[in-house]
């Protein structure tokens, strides 16, 4: 095995894989040999699949709304159908809204928690059983320094990222 391609034959999912940290992670995984499935609300409109495939691996880009169990299940089933398994799950999808806690609309609060925390729970729920069965897998949940350092303008984000750290420990 080529040491530079030590993930050759492995399959990775990256949520939020069309921009920011998610895109950087997806490209880095492809660079070291992993086939990569990216899911995001804009995946099918993105050039990320082409960029990943240019690294010499297979790629799948699909629309994914991590706040919807049906969307996560459909996405994961398509990844299983395309690649056969998932070895690495990187949860990078996330959102935030700027509101002081006393002015935070409930709808925005719930949306941030649903995407940033519940979305991670949903993807783990569908990917973890296969990892346990094969006795190999890696789950990487992107949190933030906001998990331990508060910011009065993004309380839902801070709360969601602190919860991600707790969930990851589980």
Structure token pair of residue 50: 């082409």
DSSP state of 152: T
In degrees to the nearest 10, what's the CA dihedral of 159, 161, 163, 166? -140
Angle between helices 119-134 and 69-83 (to 10 degrees): 30
97 is catalytic: no
Structure token pair of residue 22: 């998610």
**Nearest partner of 140 among 82, 66, 87, 70, judged by Cα:** 87
Give the distance from CA 48 to its chain's centroid: 15
- Largest alpha-carbon pair distance within the chain? 56
Whole-angstrom Cα distance, residue 100 to residue 127?
Answer: 35
> Which among 157, 160, 162, 163 is annotated as catalytic?
157
Residues with a catalytic annotation lie at 157
């Amino acid at each position: 095995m080529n040491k530079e391609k030590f993930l050759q034959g492995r399959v990775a999912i990256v949520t939020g894989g069309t921009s920011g940290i998610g895109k950087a992670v997806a490209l880095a995984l492809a660079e070291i040999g992993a086939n990569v499935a990216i899911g995001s609300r804009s995946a099918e409109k993105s050039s990320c699949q082409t960029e990943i495939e240019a690294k010499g691996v297979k790629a799948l880009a699909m629309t994914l709304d991590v706040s919807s169990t049906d969307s996560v299940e459909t996405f994961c089933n398509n990844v299983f159908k395309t690649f056969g398994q998932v070895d690495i799950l990187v949860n990078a999808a996330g959102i935030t809204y700027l509101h002081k806690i006393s002015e935070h609309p409930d709808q925005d609060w719930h949306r941030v928690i649903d995407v940033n925390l519940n979305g991670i729970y949903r993807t783990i729920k569908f990917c973890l059983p296969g990892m346990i069965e094969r006795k190999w897998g890696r789950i990487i949940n992107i949190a933030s320094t906001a998990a331990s350092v508060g910011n009065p303008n993004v309380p839902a984000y801070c709360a969601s990222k602190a919860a991600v750290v707790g969930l990851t420990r589980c």
